[in-house]
A and B are shown apart, each in its own frame.
Chain A
Amino acid sequence: MKKIWTIAKWEYLEKVKTKTFIVSIIITPIIIIGFSILPTLLSDEEMPRVKTIGVIDTSGTYFNLLREELEKYKIEDKQPQYILINLNEKNKPFDQIRDGANQAVLRGKLEGYILMLAKSKDSLIVEYRSESIGNFKDIGRFEHAINSARIQKKLIQEGIEPELTSFIQNKIELKHIKLDDEDIEAKQDFLITFFSSFVFILLLMMMVVYSGQMLVRSMLEERSNRLIEVLVSSSTPEELLAGKVIGLSSLGFTQIFIWFLIGLALAGSSLIPLGAFENILPMLVYFILGFLFYTTIFVGIGSVVTNEQEAQQITTYISLVLLLPVVIAMPAIQNPDFVVIKIFSYFPLTIPSVMLLRLNISNVSDYEIILTILIMLLSIIVMIKISAKIFRIGILSYGIKPTLKDIIAWIKE
């Protein structure tokens, strides 16, 4: 036991001091924060300003309705954001009007113009023409305004009272509330719950990839310079294995913990919807078990790979399995009792991530939680034994890549 502790401490302290670790601790949150903030920064960059929008309406009936709708949007000082200009001119051919509008846009006199072509009685073709395409916010508003104007116009034509028209246009949004065992409404929003599981799964995957690679790399170093021989002549391979797993797991958790603190400090609790984790205890259990399970797999891999590239490839493939819930998330939400999902929630490689997902989207019985945790524990024990055997032999065979047959023979030995 003492030696396990010595090895764990060494692995932890030596790695914690490395530049790679320190850099990854700082760089990763910066990248994540950058990614989440950048789009908002970019879209908000544009100062709200008054925009002049032309309207060509061949039916000649929409302009007032549209203006009414779009003048609701105000910027500072209660100025309207959009000023609409009716480009229709009597006795002027349509082509000329359109060409004139095009010129106005190109010369910068107009931000753009809305072209409405009435085809038959109730059919319209609408275009928004401007120099730049892709201002989704404006286009979204125009679309909404046009539709609303269309409906309003029709309703008025049919003689329906104006109060009714606004009622008809109001949409009801369906809120989805998850019930827990006692049939009490859960407080949190479904979406937050759903994405909080994803946060957990992603964290797990990042940790597994990061620590897995570190573990495999350190084992490669020890194998290539034969230090491993000194180590296994000082402790049993099992002690060495356990020490490494514990040391590097602590490293992974340190990293997550620091990121968590950074997140808290930067965004307050709003970034991490703590309230969403009503199942925090079983989630943590799955998280830790999942991490340990994957780490022991990586020890086995670290004992047979012969170079870093190979190591990286295998690490990536294995961690991709953790992303399975992303693929099955939709069917899982639609039908949490779907057989395939049930199967995945009893398969050791996918238990942690699938259960992290299921815990938050549906009610999982205590019996299932206990059973899957037991499966995980058992798998970890079996994996440690298998990895220890591969480790014991693999670490001493240098430069030769063992075949699958060799590895199976080692396990049986």
Chain B
Amino acid sequence: MLVVKNLTKKFKDTIAVNNLSFTIKPGKIFGLLGPNGAGKTTTLRTVLNIIKPTSGTISFDGKSISDEYYNMIGYLPEERGLYQRSKVIDILAYFASLKNLSKSDALFKADEWLKKLNVSRYRNKKIIELSKGNQQKIQLIAAIVHNPRLLILDEPFTGFDPINQQEVKELILTFTSEGKTIILSTHQMELAEKMCENILLMNKGSEVKSGKLSEIKRIFGGNNVKVEFSGERKLIDGMPEVLKFDSYNNYSEIHLKDEVSPSKFLKQIIQKVDVKHFSVIEPTLNKIFIDLINENN
């Protein structure tokens, strides 16, 4: 379990991270979200022990950061790049041995992962000869080859095509069943929405919102329904229960007043138009993100 308490990091006069606290349980994916410059990278770097916090504590499984900690972390930085002129297997073996794996273990694990991600044929190639997507895969393997217990992934999906994205997503999900603690920092809200159980949304160094994603969605849900119908639009648009009516080609999104329950609303409109589809829409994480950050700014 990773516990970050009252983390603050100042650079000269600017406060990059201001009194941030969060806890991540093993087997869970924690989404660290926020606009550019929100302080995510600084937060990740302090968790990685690359930079020291100005104040606050970070502990993993009850122990504060020590040299042992280095061997438990796996890190995939946002901007990618490996030693362009070195061989795939050499790089993987190097990173694994930096995490204290023996040479034979390092080679064995590296080969295992190359196979798992379908890139074994590049084993003895130089990085520069690989496509961008394959380079990304190698970098991902470099982050996980030593079987880390705490995995920090900064934008893990960029640069992958949809098929590889799916592959990587599934891989990360298998890590949760192995009990790894995972921090995922991304701008791809749909993916964060599908993968993270808890999120922390930050802006200008401070927390804007944090907690269980489902909970946040419920609170921010508003009262929206999606309706497909044939009949006159103004029959619904003019109803007192309706706050906002957005019409699209095949369906309409209706924002109801808070006190109106969707099922009662359905009963009412059935009598007015021919309803083909009716569902309650949860707000997307994307929408929550945009609304919260705009509000915060």
Q: Which residues of A contact B (CB under 8 A)?
A: 2-3, 6-7, 10, 14, 18, 221, 224-227, 229-236, 393, 396
CB-CB < 8 A to A234: which residues of B?
70-71, 73, 95, 98-99
* A10 neighbours in B (Cβ, 8 Å): 94
Q: How many residues of B contact A (CB 8 A)?
A: 29
Which residues of A lie under 8 Å from residue B99 when comparing CB positions? 234
Report if B113 contacts A (CB, 8 A): no
Most buried by A among B71, B73, B81: B81
Can you list 5 pairs linking A and B with CB atoms under 8 Å apart? A14-B86, A225-B82, A226-B81, A227-B83, A233-B50
Q: How far is the CA of A253 from the CA of B100 in the complex (A)?
A: 28
B38 vs chain A, min Cβ distance (A): 18
Write out, one digit per residue, whether chain B residues 74-103 have a CB within 8 A of any chain A CB (1) or not (0): 010111111111100010001101111000
| The residue from A14, A227, A233 contacting B81, defined by CB atoms under 8 A apart | A227
| Structural contact, B98 and A235, CB atoms closer than 8 A | yes
Q: Is B61 an interface residue (CB 8 A)?
A: no
Hey, which chain A residues are within 8 Å of B71, CB to CB?
234
For B96-128 the 0/1 string (1 means CB < 8 A from A) is 011110000000000000000000000000000
Tell me, rounded to whole Å, the shortest Cβ–Cβ distance linking A139 to chain B: 55
Q: Does B67 contact A (CB under 8 A)?
A: yes
* From B48, B85, B94, contact of A233 by CB (8 A): B48
A225 adjacent to B80 (CB under 8 Å): yes
Q: Assess whether B98 is in contact with A6, with CB atoms less than 8 Å apart.
A: yes
Q: Which residues of A contact B49 (CB under 8 A)?
A: 233
The residues of A that contact B100 with a CB separation of less than 8 Å are 2-3
Given that A6-B98, A235-B70 are known contacts, is A229 also in contact with B50, CB under 8 Å in the complex? yes
| Pair A6/B97 contact, Cβ less than 8 Å | yes
In contact, A233 and B142 (Cβ under 8 angstroms): no
Q: Within the assembled complex, what's the spacing in Å between the Cα atoms of A224 and B50?
A: 17
Known: A236-B67, A396-B45. A231 touches B98 (CB 8 A): yes
Nearest CB of chain B from residue A184's CB, rounded to whole Å: 55
Is B143 at the interface (CB under 8 A from chain A)?
yes
Is residue B239 within 8 Å, beta carbon to beta carbon, of the partner chain?
no
- A14 and B83 contacting across the interface, CB-CB below 8 Å: yes
The residue among A227, A231, A393 with the most chain B CB atoms within 10 A of its own CB is A227
Q: A227 vs B80: C-alpha distance in the bound complex, in angstroms?
A: 8
- Expressed in whole angstroms, the Cα–Cα distance for A165 and B193 within the complex equals 109
Known: A2-B100, A225-B79. A230 touches B85 (CB 8 A): no
Please tell me if the beta carbons of A18 and B50 are within 8 angstroms of each other in the complex: no
Complex Cα spacing A234 to B82, Å: 15
> What residue in chain B is nearest A409 (Cβ atoms)?
B12
A396-B80 in contact given A230-B75, A233-B75 (Cβ < 8 Å)? no
Flag if A233 contacts B51 (CB, 8 Å). Answer: no
Whether the Cβ atoms of B95 and A226 lie closer than 8 Å is no
For A232, list chain B residues within 8 Å (CB).
50
Chain A residues near B90 (CB-CB < 8 A)? 14
- Chain B residues lying within 8 Å of A14, measured Cβ to Cβ, are 83, 85-86, 90
Given A3-B98, A6-B94, A10-B94, the answer on whether A233 and B73 have CB atoms closer than 8 Å is yes
Min CB gap A228→B, angstroms: 9
Assembled-state Cα–Cα distance A3/B71 (Å):
11
B80: A residues at CB distance < 8 A: 225-226
Chain A residues, Cβ within 8 Å of B97: 6
Which listed residue, A221, A226, A230, touches B143 by the CB 8 Å rule?
A: A230
Verify B81–A7 contact, CB threshold 8 A: no
Q: With A230-B75, A234-B70, A234-B95 given, can you name 4 additional A-B contacts, CB distance below 8 Å?
A: A2-B100, A3-B98, A10-B94, A229-B75
Residue of A nearest to B12 (CB): A409
Name the residue on B nearest A3 (C-beta). B98
A240 to chain B, nearest CB (A): 9
Interface string of B53-83 (1 = CB under 8 A from A): 0000000000000010011010101111111
Does A230 contact B142, Cβ atoms closer than 8 Å? Answer: yes
**Contact residues in A for B86 (Cβ distance below 8 Å):** 14
Distance in angstroms between the alpha carbons of A231 and B50 in the assembled complex: 9
